[in-house]
Amino acid sequence: MYSIHMIPGIRMTAPSQLSALTTRNTRLFTLLLERELKKTGLRSGQLPVLQALQDGKILNQKALADFADIEQPGMTTLLARMERDGLIQREPDPTDRRSTLVTLTPDGQRKSRNIVPVMEHLTNTALKGFTPLERDILVTLLERITSSLKSQL
Amino acid sequence: MYSIHMIPGIRMTAPSQLSALTTRNTRLFTLLLERELKKTGLRSGQLPVLQALQDGKILNQKALADFADIEQPGMTTLLARMERDGLIQREPDPTDRRSTLVTLTPDGQRKSRNIVPVMEHLTNTALKGFTPLERDILVTLLERITSSLKSQL
DNA sequence: ATGGAATACATAACATGTTATGTATTGAGA
DNA sequence: TCTCAATACATAACATGTTATGTATTCCAT
């Protein structure tokens, strides 16, 4: 499958600080992402919503929360900020009066087109020097962790 | 905690989900960690402070912020909550009137003894099925990412 | 010795997320 | 049909983190 010879800098020490490492990487990545997005008027938390609503798609808030993998109240407040900033539009669902349908505004659509190049650039920065094999190994290991953690929920 | 999710249109097969994977793992790990810590009366953000002040060590707020790798205002508010909750004590540094010296209270010391087993258990959960080699590969790759991202700051 | 830069901390405003809880609407079974 | 559970959303309270900014103190170069 994969071999230690292909991983430079291998140390054989205990990953006692695994969570610190992933947390640090997440915060660093988000920090750099926010810097890039600042030029486009977007924030990192908005990206899943913009992605989910691309191509004129219409979703209610529950579907957006599921897609973004956050709780419903978090999505409610996020969408309130995005509506305030003119990125999305909310209107009542005519078929279900509990539900609110969300769409991108033209400005939201326009700004969301900047996301892909920004994410590509940052991902390449994070994985600088990684061989394709190393990328695959990393993703495989991370997916196994996700699976293990989700099984504990 | 910010949330970076899968962005469409990135063609690289697997690593396009890198930030989504690490972010999801971080949130999942933190969620499970908070559940465990709830029994001990601690919160996840407090752990670096408790660790840094173990064995009666005395540090000022700047040193704690550096250790925890967060900004100074974040540490100030964190320490205010921890002081409110009786985990730490703050007193003026007699040798530098700008500085505040922080120590653990007896209760903080007592509660902090629960951290290591909790973290070990959760880390083993996250890395369930990993061989020692796979653990080291993972840590090595994550550290390379940290290094690449930090070089962009 | 002193004046200006650097340092340590605090505060405000905010984004992002979590629980807990309340309200209105919908749906489903007796 | 009617009641009761489930669903969708909102709100409150909070933790954790970020910038931006202000204040007080200390350090250093002249």
Say how many Å lie between the first and final Cα of chain A, rounded: 30
- The pLDDT score that the predictor gives to residue B71 is 96
| B112 CB closer than 7 A to any strand D atom | no
Chain Cα centroid distance, residue A80: 19
pLDDT of residue A16: 54
Tens digits of pLDDT across chain A (153 residues): 333 334 344 343 444 578 888 888 898 899 999 999 988 999 999 999 999 999 999 999 999 999 999 999 999 999 999 999 999 999 999 999 999 999 999 999 999 998 988 998 899 899 999 988 888 888 888 889 988 988 888
Protein-contacted bases of chain D (C-beta within 7 A)? 7-13, 15-21, 24-27
Percent over 70 (pLDDT), chain B: 89
Type of residue found at A126? A
On whether the CB atoms of residues A39 and A7 are closer than 8 A, the answer is no
Half-sphere exposure of residue B27: CA atoms within 13 angstroms, side-chain side: 15
Protein CA A99 to sugar C1' C28 (Å): 19
Weakest-pLDDT range from A149-153, B11-15, B124-128: B11-15
Residues A122, A36 contacting (CB under 8 angstroms): yes
- How near does any CA of chain B get to the CA of A103, in Å? 18
Chain A environment of B127 (Cβ under 8 Å): 15, 18, 145, 148
First to last CA, chain B: 19
Residue-wise pLDDT for B26-73, tens only, equals 988 999 999 999 889 999 999 999 999 999 999 999 999 999 999 999
Report all structural domains of chain A as residue ranges with CATH numbers, in order of start.
Answer: 35-116 (1.10.10.10)
pLDDT in tens, B89-122: 999 999 999 999 999 999 999 999 989 889 988 9
